[in-house]
């Protein structure tokens, strides 16, 4: 059951309105995005290449950082092997909140 009270101190409403723009940016880069997690403290995304001709995950992270109104336009990338299943996490700063974009590196 949806609990509106949980929205008081989190970023869910912010991300509900921002997600379409992030999704469109990813699609223009050849990627698909899916949301997972509670969206309470941050936005957890799963990203996967959707077409043969797609930008790199690094380029996608940079473009999403630009869309997220990030003044510094930067992201942080986990090291290969830090996460299970060869998953890489890009943490994109966005004001008082952030995006964690998860990507499974090719070759898994």
Which residues share a beta bridge with 97? 94
pTM, rounded to two decimals: 0.82
- Rounded Cα–Cα distance for residues 69 and 76 (Å): 16
- Rounded Cα–Cα distance for residues 70 and 5 (Å): 28
Average pLDDT (67-91) is 81
Enumerate the domain spans of the chain. 4-104
Average pLDDT (81-90) is 86
Estimate to the nearest angstrom the gap between the alpha carbon of 35 and the chain centroid: 8
The CATH architecture annotation of domain 4-104 reads 2-Layer Sandwich (3.30)
Pairing of strands 43-49, 97-104: parallel
Confidence of residue 8 (pLDDT cuts 50, 70, 90): low
């Amino acid at each position: 059951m949806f609990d509106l009270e949980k929205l008081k101190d989190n970023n869910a409403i912010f991300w509900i309105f921002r997600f379409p723009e992030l999704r469109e940016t990813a699609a223009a880069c050849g990627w698909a995005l899916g949301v997972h997690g509670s969206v309470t403290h941050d936005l957890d995304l799963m990203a996967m290449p959707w077409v043969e001709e797609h930008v790199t995950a690094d380029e996608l992270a940079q473009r999403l950082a630009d869309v997220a109104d990030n003044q510094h336009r930067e992201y942080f990338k986990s090291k290969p092997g830090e996460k299970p299943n060869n998953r890489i996490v890009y943490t994109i700063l966005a004001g008082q909140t952030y995006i964690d974009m998860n990507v499974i590196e090719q070759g898994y």
